[in-house]
Amino acid sequence: MSNLPNCPKCNSTFTYEDGSLLICPECAHEWTLEADTENREDHKIVKDANGNILNDGDTVTVIKDLKVKGSSSVLKMGTKVKNIRLVDGDHDIDCKIDGFGAMKLKSEFVKKI
Ligand SMILES: [Zn+2]
């Protein structure tokens, strides 16, 4: 018995692995597990100001001055933010910024580097 997923096209259970590919012998459909994960309906796609897809661990820059909630400081345009983490919600980026600490940003105000 294998624990490979069924074919997404014909739902065959006879799928097999060939390197990083999964292959269905019944309808000849080929796909990868990674692509399968991307296509899951609960996978939210977060895009930056230019429409590029953001991923956990990406480095972005802030594209406009942003007021920091609860303080008088301003996050300057061009500030580099490393190792972002995508989260659900209105502010969909969780990150840590030198001098500011942990904070949340909106993906529409950043640009992937
Ligand atoms: Zn198939």
pLDDT tens, N- to C-terminus, the chain (113 residues): 457 899 999 999 999 999 889 999 999 999 987 655 555 555 578 999 999 999 999 999 999 999 887 788 899 999 999 999 999 888 999 999 988 899 999 999 999 99
Distance CA 57, CA 51 (A): 17
Alpha carbons 53 and 112: distance in angstroms, whole number: 8
Q: How confident is the model at residue 1, as a pLDDT? A: 45
Find out whether 25 and 85 touch, Cβ atoms under 8 Å.
no
The C-alpha atoms of residue 55 and residue 66 are separated, in whole angstroms, by 22
Neighbouring residues of the ion ligand 1, judged by CB less than 5 Å: 7, 9-10, 12, 24, 26-27, 29
Answer yes or no: are the C-beta atoms of 10 and 24 closer than 8 Å: yes
Distance 70 CA to ligand 1 centre (A): 54
Ligand 1 center–CA 74 separation, angstroms: 54
Q: The pTM is what?
A: 0.60
Instruction: Find the 39 Cα to ligand 1 centroid distance in Å.
Output: 17
Q: What is the pLDDT of residue 24?
A: 96
